[in-house]
Amino acid sequence: MHELSIAQEIIDVAVQTIPSENYHLVKAIRISIGEFCNIIPDSLLFCYNSLIDSSPILNCRLEIESIPLTVYCSSCNVNIEIKQPNFFCNKCGGTDIKIVSGQELSIKEIELEDDLREAT
């Protein structure tokens, strides 16, 4: 289950990015996962939730955006979303296609709460 190591890496990146005095302000991590990158979002979320309580950013939730598998068809000259494992153009049936999106895994945003404490 490689989702466990991916969840740990997501937490590690957030902890390394945010100054330690602001760990309590980390509210959410937003990621994008391509449908063709071989990661099961529910498994990743389960692993993340298992690890987050023992991290410095324990109140942080993980939000996952799914990116569809999109290919470019050279015959039709168009981008088309396809479902695995059908690697042909849904429009013309051609197989001269190239993947445009759906393989990515990226941290899009780390959201922090506003710190509204007044200076005294």
Report percent pLDDT > 90 for the chain: 79
- Cα angle at 62 between 58 and 66, to 5 degrees? 170
For 13-69, the pLDDT digits (tens) are 999 999 999 999 999 999 999 999 999 999 999 999 999 999 999 999 999 999 999
Does domain 3-68+103-112 correspond to CATH entry 3.30.2320.50? yes
Could you tell me the pTM of the whole model? 0.84
- Cα angle at 73 between 67 and 75, to 5 degrees? 170
pLDDT at 117: 56
Find the distance separating the first CA and the last CA of the chain, reported in whole Å. 49
- Beta strand 70-73 with 97-101 is antiparallel
Residue 59 CA to residue 47 CA, distance in Å, equals 15
Task: Assign 43 to helix, strand or coil.
Answer: helix
